[in-house]
Amino acid sequence: MPNYITLLAENLLLKKKLEIAQNYMKREFFEDKKCIAQQRNWAIASNKKNMFLYSNIEDIVNRNIQSFFWELMLISIPATILENIVSAEITYYNFRQYTDRDGFAVISSYHKALDVIIDECIAKKYKAYIDVNRLSSDIENDALNKSLAKIIHSNYSLSVWRLFHLMETLRKYWDWRNKTKLPQYTYLFFKFLWEQYGLRKVLLEDDDFFAIFKKVIESEVLGSKRHKWKITFVETRSARNAIIWGFKEQNCIIYKLLESEEI
């Protein structure tokens, strides 16, 4: 007979799935009109076989998510993250059928998922870590330092791009930290990561993670190409592999970030 903890975990998982389904349906009404029209056109153009597969794709995606993330990890993931992963995967299925289209809708959903993960796993925890009363009133004239100051004082978010450049800077600082003085907020961010074992291991020590992250950033799919609607199928597939790896490999950006620190 299942014990109480097992039943509780199953109940929480069912509630999470219901919440995701409800929020995902709501998003359909507020999504970008161009994305909706694009998805509808793809669906209309599908033949009967593809229409049958499309009707089952959400179930397939949900099963992939459940098998990819272990149960307690899945329960703790905010619904917004899972909604965007589901949205990206459904759109990617359509994109595979019509590879002459643009990959904006897929990349946009994954970008939103990454933004929420970074905010929940890193930015909010960094803000809670800082003792505002002990900060100097002077903010050094450094772009990254100013961005971190705005997270503390103006409730700004930490973008994917800013996180990458912080990683790039602090991984170098790792080697010569006793010789070079970092600006106040940047140093406190380094100190924060240093004291969080999971985040330190991924953001400062994991060379594979940094290489994967760098590849996505340098591809510009989260930057100029996304804003210009010029993302090819090959670029979309490559970015998807780096971000979620088709739910096959845990050495990907989303899994590593979620695993690094319990949300």
- Give pLDDT tens digits for 168-204: 999 887 665 555 688 889 999 999 999 999 999 999 9
Report the candidate in 102, 216, 121 with the shortest Cα–Cα distance to residue 161: 216
Confidence of residue 32 (pLDDT cuts 50, 70, 90): very low
How far is the C-alpha of 179 from the C-alpha of 172, rounded, in Å? Answer: 12
CA-derived radius of gyration, the chain: 20
Contact 35, 84 (CB under 8 A): no
Question: 0.85 exceeded by the pTM?
Answer: no
Number of domains making up the chain? 1
Q: Tell me phi and psi for residue 77, to 5 degrees.
A: -75, 125
> What mean pLDDT comes out for the span 101-119?
94
Whole-number percent of the chain with pLDDT over 70 = 74
Which of 19-23, 25-29, 53-57, 59-63 has the highest average model confidence (pLDDT)?
59-63
Transcribe 202-220 into DSSP letters. IIII-HHHHHHHHHHHHHT
How far is the C-alpha of 81 from the C-alpha of 50, rounded, in Å? Answer: 27
Q: Which two tokens stand for residue 144?
A: 């990254």
Whole-number pLDDT of residue 242:
96
Whole-number pLDDT of residue 33:
42
Domain of 52 in residue numbering reads as: 4-260
**Low-confidence winner among 50-54, 97-101, 231-235, 254-258 (lowest mean pLDDT):** 50-54
**Mean pLDDT for the chain overall:** 80
